[in-house]
Amino acid sequence: MVKNNISANIYKAPPGPRGLPIIGCFLQMASNPLQFLTNAAREYGDVVHLGAIGPQQLYLIAHPDCVKHVLQENPQNYTKGENFQEMKLVIGEGLVISEGDSWRRQRRLMQPSFHRQQIAAMVNDMTATIAQMLERWHQMERGATLDAYDEMLLLTQKMLLKTTLSIDTSSDTTELIQAWNTIYKFLSDRLWAVFKPPISFPTPKNRQFLQAINTLRTTANRIIQERQQGNDAPNDILSMLMSSRDESGEGLSDQQLHDQIVGLFSAGFETSGAVLSWIWYLLSKYPSVERQLQKELSTVLDGRTPTFEDLPNLKYTKMIVQEAMRLYPGAWVYARNNLKDDVIGGYHIPAGSMLLLSPFVTHRLPAFWDNPEGFDPERFSPEQSANRPRYAYFPFGGGSRQCLGDIFALTEIQLVVAMVSQQFRLNLVPEYPVERAPLLTLQTRHGILMTLEPRVDLGQMNQQNTQKALITH
Ligand code: HEM
């Protein structure tokens, strides 16, 4: 179906909506990107031409086999660097946006820190951070409301700071977190903006953005220097990165270490935080799924804190996470540029085009998903998953550039879902307007306001845990 080295004479251009000169379909897309791209795939098919923005042709790649071609079969023809110029100011030449040999070397040096057994060693830090949040929630009044998105973002930020840098998350991490939030908001606001003043213009927003980058860099550099000068090497991702060596015995330079750490911030918590907030929304909307989850938690854990070894037995919990990421994949779209002409799905794609790959769109194609808008974790049972094409579902991307943190993310999300659900039910505030916001990650426009309903009080839980500990000793 898919061939290379092709001439435009043989293969036709893909169909697509009529765009305007110079801006193509940008305005239609910017007004409601999720709906626009979903409709485009349903109306025009596997590969959709979205016109040209300036000199660059834009395509949506929707069919799983076509996604596979780009990510896995012909990745050497695709780069992602051009689409990240502003992010480059923040994360420099780190893994997330580097290309070629530089990317390959960094990936080899970083990969061992994200192996399953390393993630297993981080689980205690993750569960301790979740427990801190739950303790805070128990101190709130019964029926208190909170924004599930803010809470989950703060939690995933703290889990990442603890596991990457051993930063004590009960202490004040506000400055670092605020700096990152400023950067994220700035980049998100510019994503769909028609007019973007150059970052060098001294507007108040530009100044705030550059100052936040400075805070992030200074903090990362200070932490790396302290670690290099100190004697202790805590068991965290920074220590692993500092001791990682390639075949020639070379490690990461100070600049590369810095870029990796800041790059992990950029990749590692907005996505997981957004996915978690959608999970609480979905569970409050689907009480039968929630009941099934409770059944599994009490059978497998019986009130205990989950361990890494428990995770394979929390099968339904994992299916909930997978299904939530089908409907609301944190990374809802990403882009590639092709170096040479290509043929995808039988269509000619000229060199230098921009291709959009959207898990959000492909995860809702009716040809691969019955009732695509419905929330049904059973889709991820082994029986129902058996004949599904690999790239009908790709929340973590694929091929050689597949998400480095996929096991980290799935582990932390499964732990949060289990621990929070053991102690609380989160109910969506009636009539609260939950509106999807496709920014750098897929989040909500006004957060997700929910009320807290404790399932047990803290005293009761502590008593139960003490009794269990006495029985097992
Ligand atoms: C639910 C959570 C997450 C989702 C949905 C997600 C999704 C993705 C996707 C789709 C990509 C590939 C992008 C592309 O090909 O252009 C990616 C790359 C990456 N992710 Fe994640 N991610 C998540 C969590 C994490 C976490 C927790 C970390 C680290 C702690 C992480 C680190 C990375 C890195 C370093 C890359 C770049 C890999 C490379 O280019 O070689 N991610 N992620």
CA of 81 to the centre of ligand 1 (A): 15
Retrieve residue 305's tokens: 């804190």
- Identify the band that residue 81 occupies on the pLDDT scale cut at 50, 70 and 90: low
- In sequence order, the 6+-apart residues with CB closer than 8 A to the CB of 104 are none
Retrieve residue 183's tokens: 């950067």
- In sequence order, the 6+-apart residues with CB closer than 8 A to the CB of 237 are 113, 163, 164, 165, 264
CA of 111 to the centre of ligand 1 (A): 12
CA of 160 to the centre of ligand 1 (A): 13
Nearest CA to ligand 1 atom 34: 404
Burial of 222 (0-12, 13-18, 19+ CB in 10 A): exposed
16 lines ligand 1 (CB under 6 A): no
399 lines ligand 1 (CB under 6 A): no
Q: Which amino acid belongs to residue 23?
A: I
Domain residue ranges in the chain: 83-327+374-472
Residue 240 near residue 118 (C-beta atoms within 8 A)? yes
CA of 156 to the centre of ligand 1 (A): 14
396 lines ligand 1 (CB under 6 A): yes
Q: CB atoms < 10 A from the CB of 372, how many?
A: 16
Q: Is the pLDDT of residue 2 over 50?
A: no
Q: Is the pLDDT of residue 171 over 70?
A: no
Q: Is the pLDDT of residue 101 over 80?
A: yes
Q: pLDDT tens across 342-363, in order?
A: 999 999 999 999 999 999 999 9
Query: What is the atom index within ligand 1 of the atom nearest the CA of 441?
Result: 5
Counting residues of the chain whose pLDDT is more than 90, the rounded percentage is: 68
Q: Is the pLDDT of residue 430 over 90?
A: yes
Per-residue model confidence (pLDDT) at position 457: 64
Q: Average pLDDT in the 105-116 region?
A: 94
Pairing of strands 56-61, 354-357: parallel
Which residue in 164, 119, 78, 82 sits closest to 401, CA to CA? 78
Q: Is the pLDDT of residue 131 over 60?
A: yes
Q: Average pLDDT in the 116-139 region?
A: 95
CA of 142 to the centre of ligand 1 (A): 37
CA of 134 to the centre of ligand 1 (A): 27
Q: What angle do CA 401, 444, 434 make, to 5 degrees?
A: 140
Query: What is the atom index within ligand 1 of the atom nearest the CA of 269?
Result: 27
161 lines ligand 1 (CB under 6 A): no
Per-residue model confidence (pLDDT) at position 473: 43
264 lines ligand 1 (CB under 6 A): yes
Nearest CA to ligand 1 atom 27: 268
Q: Which of 176-190, 305-319, 368-382, 435-449 shows the lowest per-residue confidence on average (mean pLDDT)?
A: 176-190
Query: What is the atom index within ligand 1 of the atom nearest the CA of 97?
Result: 40
CA of 273 to the centre of ligand 1 (A): 13
Retrieve residue 284's tokens: 């409050």
185 lines ligand 1 (CB under 6 A): no
Nearest CA to ligand 1 atom 7: 396
Q: CB atoms < 10 A from the CB of 340, how many?
A: 15
Q: Which CATH architecture has domain 83-327+374-472?
A: Orthogonal Bundle (1.10)
Q: Is the pLDDT of residue 471 over 80?
A: no
Q: What angle do CA 126, 91, 334 make, to 5 degrees?
A: 85
The three-state (H, E, C) secondary structure of the chain, written as one string:
CCCECCCCCCCCCCCCCCCECCCECHHHHHHCHHHHHHHHHHHHCCEEEEEEECCEEEEEECCHHHHHHHHHHCHHHEECHHHHHHHHHHHCCCCCCCCHHHHHHHHHHHHHHHCHHHHHHHHHHHHHHHHHHHHHHHCCCCCCEEEHHHHHHHHHHHHHHHHHHCCCCCCCCHHHHHHHHHHHHHHHHHHCCCCCCCCCCCCHHHHHHHHHHHHHHHHHHHHHHHHHHCCCCCCCHHHHHHHCCCCCCCCCCHHHHHHHHHHHHHHHCHHHHHHHHHHHHHHHHCHHHHHHHHHHHHHHCCCCCCCHHHHHHCHHHHHHHHHHHHHCCCCCCEEEEECCCEEECCEEECCCCEEEECHHHHCCCCCCCCCCCCCCHHHHCHHHHCCCCHHHCCCCCCHHHCCCCHHHHHHHHHHHHHHHHHHEEEEECCCCCCCEEECCCEEECCCCEEEEEECCCHHHHHHHHHHHHHHHC
Q: Is the pLDDT of residue 277 over 50?
A: yes
Higher-scoring residue by pLDDT: 458, 74: 74
398 lines ligand 1 (CB under 6 A): no
Per-residue model confidence (pLDDT) at position 21: 83
CA of 429 to the centre of ligand 1 (A): 32
Nearest CA to ligand 1 atom 1: 272
Per-residue model confidence (pLDDT) at position 460: 64
Q: Which of 73-82, 349-358, 420-429, 461-470 shows the lowest per-residue confidence on average (mean pLDDT)?
A: 461-470
